[in-house]
Every structure is written in C-alpha cells, then in structure tokens.
C-alpha cells in the first residue's frame, strides 16, 4: 500500500507545466508588479526553540495561466500577515510531544516525513499547548479555528505567497532551472532520500527548502477548480473534499514540480499506512490583534487582518509605512496678507500631528509611524512634460524681479516662489520614487503651492506648476506605467489637470466638485476627446453636498470606472476645501467623511496596483477642519485602526 501511494504522489509531482509567462499574467490583470525581494524579514525563536519568519501582508499573483489546469486562472490575492517556520518540522521536534516518528529516512535534523495530515494538525495543537497558546484544531472534527492564536498548517495561498517572496518567476530565485540545485533537494540531486534541513539556499524571505526536500501539507482541501471561484482575500480552500493540498517540491520531484505555483494533493488524511515519505510540513501562526476595514465592491465594510503586534511577544511582521513629504521650504512661498493659501496651512497640519495623541512624541519622531521623505526640486525635464519652457522661464524671472502676481490677482508670488514650486513638484516625484522602490506603501504630500489649476502656459487659482500632472508624466515616462488614475476631490474643478489629459486614454481623470463654481469648468458633458473620450469623468455637485452625497458618487461612479480601468498607480488631488466650514467652499464633508473617501480610493489601489498611491495636498482653507481632515486621511493611509480619532472639531457653517 505504501509503495502504491508513494508512486501515486510521485506521479503527481512529475506533471510537466508550460513555461511561466509573467508578461501575459500582468497584461491580463492590467496591474504590473515589479520583482521586489527587498523585504528583510524578522526572525524570532519561539518558547520551544523553533525559528519563525515574519511574513508581511500584501497582494500577490497566485497561480499560472500557462500552468497545469488546476493552477488556472492566475488571480490576485491579498494575504494577511503571519509567521511561518523557517524550516520544515524536523524529526527531533516532532518527538518532543511523545508522538511516534513515522519517518523513513531517520535523522534528528532531517524533515519529518511519512506523516498524515491529521497527525500534522495534532502536532500543531501540541506545540500550541506547550507554548500556552490556544490550539487551532478541533480534535473531533479537525476544523481549523483561524481566530485562535496557536499554530496551524498554512493555507495554500499563504504557502505560495511565502514561497514566492515577492517574485513572479517560476521559482523564488528566478527562471533559471540550473540554479535549482542550490536551493532544493529534488530528483536530480537527492539520490533518492531527504537531507538535513537548511543546507540549501533560502528563498528571498529566508525560508528554507520551499522548492524541495519534502512536499508540505497545507490546511486546504484540494479542488482542481477552486481558483475559478475562490475569494481574493485570505482564501482558505473548499469547505470539504477527499484530499488535502500539498505544496513544494520533494526529493523525488522533477524540476517542473518544484515551481512556486505547482499544486498537488494526497488522500492520507488520517492513515499513516497511506502516508508517503515525500510528505512533511511546517507550521504558521496568524498575526493577530490588528484589523483594517476595506470597502467591498458592494459598498459594505469588509474587515480583514493585515498586520499586528507580534503574536510571539516581539515586534510585528514588517509592513511598509506610509510616507510623509514635507519641508520647511514650503513656508517660503509668501502670499499677500490675508490670502487663504498661506504658509499657515502647512503649519496647521504639522501642529495637528504634533498635538495628536498618536504623535505625542512630536513631529521629529513621526518616523515611529510615518516615513518622513525630504523633497528636492524637480528636474526641468519633468516640469517640461507639462509646462512650456517659455512659461517656466517667465515664472523664474517674475519671482526674481519681485513681481507681485503671476498671470492673475489670485496667484500672488514672492522671491522664492519659483524655487518652492519646483520643490513642490519634486515632492510628488520623491513620493512616487519611494512607493515604486518599495520604501513605503503610500504617501501623503504636505506641499504648496497647490497645482491642479495650473495650465501649460499660465498660472491660476493659487497654482504655479501642476504637481499632479507632472507626477503622472513621471510615472509613465520613468517607470513605464501604462495607466494612471487621478482622483480629484478638491471643491474646485481641476481644470489644469483635465486640460493636460483630455485626449489621453492612459489617464483616467475623475473629479467631483462644487458646480457652478470657480473656475467654471467641470461640466458632466466634459468627457474627453479623441482617444481620451470617456476617460475624463466630471461629477458636479450642488453647494451643500455632504458625506453621503460624496460616498454615493464614489461607490456608484468612481469604483466601477476605476476597477474597469485597472490603474497601475493612483494619485489623489487631495483638496480639503470641500469640508464643512471652509472659507472658500460651500460643501459639508466632515473629517470622517474624508476618511471614508480615502478608504474607497485606497481599496481601489490595493485591488489594482498593490496599494501604490500618492496623495497630494491641493486646497483647504479652514485651518482647524482642514488639518483635522488631513489627519483622518493620513490615519486611513497608515492602516492603523488604533489611530481612530477621538477628538472632535467644531466647524463653522459654510459662508
């Protein structure tokens, strides 16, 4: 019986898969993922002496459209943070709990094998009890309680996510099969047996033997068609089945069967006589205690765990921080006395963050929660992607000559305004670089002067250079991203941004604004032209519109259009002058309303482009309500529900 089952498993592990095509997968989803293995995992040792690796939360592309039938379709999956054993469970660890060692290839530091699924789950429970944790498995039904804080077997999605470690190639080390011998024990180098764990190179996240030594049990029941119907967030497999999933290569596997996406299964659920000596396992543990709320496509709130304090009494699995672009140079753009677009706007934001209980240590220590980014001036080649060289020179000369206003009386300038405007645009580019280089998850840019009214050859509406438009061109030219979504919720229509991309189908510009109002553009009939027709969406709203009106627009108009467009990057023209009490606007959005709008846009970025998002300050002139709204906006970007505001801001009625 053992030989029959062993041969059956060996056949499963010998199925040949077609060549993996990253390009086809990325085109299919419309959302490109750069190979990124820069995450350096935290490794801890548990009370019982076992090393575990912190696996960060994130999206990944699961499966392979060019693989075997059960690997299709490739689909994007969001995985919550968890801890995973650095090595496969070895024989001496298994024997600690008075469990009989069924292994064929005996050695204390060799992986345990010939283990059935139920005994692997029993070991998880025993190990949990030994560390004073709640066991995950009901030992009558063997159902897994994913809310328990003990050890369990990984879900199939968790296993592939950890194995890939940020890669989209056939193996976690790339596509070159010749390198497999340095990472795995498989048919070509194993001489028909297992070996000591950890003797080959680890994957980029520090996990050993993922591609070969023994195949590993997962928690899921196996279904060939599960990828066609499984959820996109922490999938846990079918509710029932006859076999459990196996993942990873084994000592008898072909090279193709060691691919990250390769799936297999085995029927040895509770009978050791059926268990094969190519099957072992490793444990995981959910990172508990922190949840975020993401809006689902139907508008209902969907809470899922993303990151946490450490379940093991150490620091948490690393999740990239939110970036914060700011520099005192932005205060040097001087406007006329009493002008609403003054340096006090940024002072109010910074002071608000200092005074917040979340930032009680002061702005200088914001790095405990935010990754502070220092901007530099944008290079002229990027400014010229939006503005004419003649206009740029005119701005420079006007500032040097002490001219009081640029093009209109609503745009006062000062001696340093040209320099500051270059650094405002540069702040957006700094933010984009930080996101694209995976230094941060997303960024808020506390910059001025604002930009969305600036035209290619004219300043207007307090704006000198169009920061958002320049950032969009930068994304497309430097990083070769094909599609950019711009969401503009400033109370005023972003006529300058609309003009730049009006005939461009690679940019979806979505603006919701008060109408009729300055600058007089933004009618619903303005839908783009030429190839850009229908890629310009204006949603004019009457004065007095509030949270519910905006949320309805975002859920019914923005979400469907954005998800269909499937952007590679999301930019927000984040004007907070639609807040209740703003001295210029006439809308009634609350700080909590802006938080909800942020959730929706952030969810779009997470679904389409791995959360890549940069938010850029535009308007907002009531200092109290504007700064409170910015704080709520940043709280959502930071993914930390513990930062929910308990303060209230008394707002004046709109003037």
- Distance, CA of 154 to CA of 88 (rounded, Å): 12
Return all residues near 178 (Cβ < 8 A) that are at least 6 apart.
Answer: none
Token pair 């220092």 is found at 374
- Distance, CA of 354 to CA of 165 (rounded, Å): 37
**Structure token digits, residue 338:** 């009493």
Q: Is 215 helix (H, G, I), strand (E, B) or coil?
A: strand
- Distance, CA of 63 to CA of 261 (rounded, Å): 5
**Structure token digits, residue 192:** 């028909």
- Distance, CA of 69 to CA of 208 (rounded, Å): 28
Phi, psi of 313 (to 5 degrees): 80, 15
- Before 516, cis peptide (omega within 30)? yes
- Distance, CA of 105 to CA of 273 (rounded, Å): 16
- Distance, CA of 651 to CA of 638 (rounded, Å): 25
- Distance, CA of 6 to CA of 251 (rounded, Å): 12
- Distance, CA of 467 to CA of 571 (rounded, Å): 11
* CA 238, 241, 244, 245 torsion-angle sign: negative
Q: Pick the catalytic residue: 453, 493, 513, 633?
A: 453
- Distance, CA of 441 to CA of 634 (rounded, Å): 12
Task: Check if 333 is active-site.
Answer: no
- Distance, CA of 365 to CA of 22 (rounded, Å): 41
The neighbouring-strand residues paired with 305 are 291
Look at strands 507-514 and 536-541 and give their pairing.
parallel
Q: How many CB atoms lie within 10 A of CB 574?
A: 28
Q: Is 250 helix (H, G, I), strand (E, B) or coil?
A: coil
Return all residues near 191 (Cβ < 8 A) that are at least 6 apart.
Answer: none
Q: Is 372 helix (H, G, I), strand (E, B) or coil?
A: strand
DSSP string, 106-152: --TTSBP-S--HHHHHHHHHHHHHHTT---SB-TTT--B-TTSSS-B
Active site (catalytic) residues: 453
């Amino acid at each position: 019986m053992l030989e029959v089952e062993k041969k059956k498993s060996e056949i499963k592990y010998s199925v040949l898969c077609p060549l993996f095509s990253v390009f086809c997968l990325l085109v299919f989803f419309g959302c490109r993922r750069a190979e990124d293995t820069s995450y350096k995992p935290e490794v801890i040792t548990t009370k019982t002496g076992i090393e575990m690796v912190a696996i960060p939360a994130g999206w990944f592309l699961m499966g392979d459209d060019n693989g075997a039938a059960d690997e299709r379709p490739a689909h994007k999956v969001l995985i919550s943070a968890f801890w995973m054993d650095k090595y496969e469970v070895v024989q001496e660890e298994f024997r600690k709990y008075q469990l009989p060692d069924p292994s064929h290839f005996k050695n204390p530091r060799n992986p345990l094998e010939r283990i059935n699924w139920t005994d692997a789950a029993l070991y998880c429970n025993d190990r949990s009890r030994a560390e004073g944790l709640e066991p995950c498995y009901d030992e009558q039904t063997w159902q897994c309680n994913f809310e328990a804080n003990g050890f369990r077997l990984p879900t199939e999605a968790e296993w592939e996510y950890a194995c890939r470690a940020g890669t989209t190639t056939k193996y976690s080390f790339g596509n070159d099969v010749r390198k497999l011998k340095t990472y795995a024990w498989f048919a070509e180098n194993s001489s028909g047996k297992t070996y000591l764990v950890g003797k080959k190179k680890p994957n980029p996240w520090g996990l050993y033997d993922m591609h070969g030594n023994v195949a590993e049990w997962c928690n899921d029941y196996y279904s060939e068609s599960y990828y066609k119907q499984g959820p996109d967030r922490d999938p846990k497999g079918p509710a029932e089945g006859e076999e459990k999933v196996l993942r990873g290569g084994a000592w008898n596997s072909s090279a193709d069967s060691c691919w990250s996406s390769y799936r297999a299964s085995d029927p040895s659920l509770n009978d050791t006589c059926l268990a094969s000596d190519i099957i072992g396992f490793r444990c995981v543990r959910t990172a508990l205690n922190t949840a975020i709320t993401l809006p689902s496509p139907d508008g209902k709130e969907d809470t899922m765990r993303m990151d946490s304090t450490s379940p093991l009494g150490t620091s948490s699995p690393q999740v990239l921080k939110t970036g914060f672009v700011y520099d005192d140079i932005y205060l040097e753009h001087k406007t006329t006395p009493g002008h609403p677009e003054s340096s006090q706007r940024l002072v109010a934001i910074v002071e608000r963050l200092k005074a917040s209980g979340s930032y009680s240590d002061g702005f200088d220590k914001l790095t405990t929660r935010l990754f502070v980014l220092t901007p530099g001036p944008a290079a002229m080649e990027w400014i010229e992607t939006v503005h004419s060289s003649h206009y740029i020179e005119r701005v420079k000369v006007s500032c040097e000559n002490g001219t009081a206003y640029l093009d209109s009386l609503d745009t006062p300038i000062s001696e340093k305004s040209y320099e500051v405007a270059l650094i405002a645009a540069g702040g957006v580019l700094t933010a984009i670089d930080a996101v694209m280089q995976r230094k941060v998850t997303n960024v808020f840019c506390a910059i001025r002067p604002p930009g969305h009214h600036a035209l290619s050859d004219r300043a207007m509406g307090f704006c000198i250079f169009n920061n958002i438009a320049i950032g969009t061109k930068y994304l497309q030219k430097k990083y070769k991203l094909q599609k950019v979504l711009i969401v503009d919720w400033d109370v005023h229509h972003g006529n300058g941004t609309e003009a730049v991309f009006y005939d461009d189908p690679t940019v979806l510009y979505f603006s919701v604004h008060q109408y009729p109002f300055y600058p007089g553009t933004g009618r619903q009939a303005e839908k783009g032209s030429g190839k850009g027709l229908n890629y310009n969406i204006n949603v004019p709203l009457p004065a007095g519109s509030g949270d519910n009106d905006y949320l309805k627009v975002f859920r019914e108009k923005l979400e469907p259009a954005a998800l269909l467009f499937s952007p590679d990057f999301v930019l927000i023209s984040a004007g907070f002058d639609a807040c209740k009490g703003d001295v210029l606007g006439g809308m009634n959005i609350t700080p909590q309303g802006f938080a909800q709008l942020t959730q929706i846009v952030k969810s779009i970025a997470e679904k389409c482009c791995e959360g890549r998002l940069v938010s850029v300050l535009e308007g907002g002139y009531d200092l109290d309500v504007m700064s409170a709204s910015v704080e709520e906006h940043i709280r959502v970007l930071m993914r930390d529900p513990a930062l929910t505001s308990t303060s209230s801001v008394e707002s004046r009625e709109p003037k």
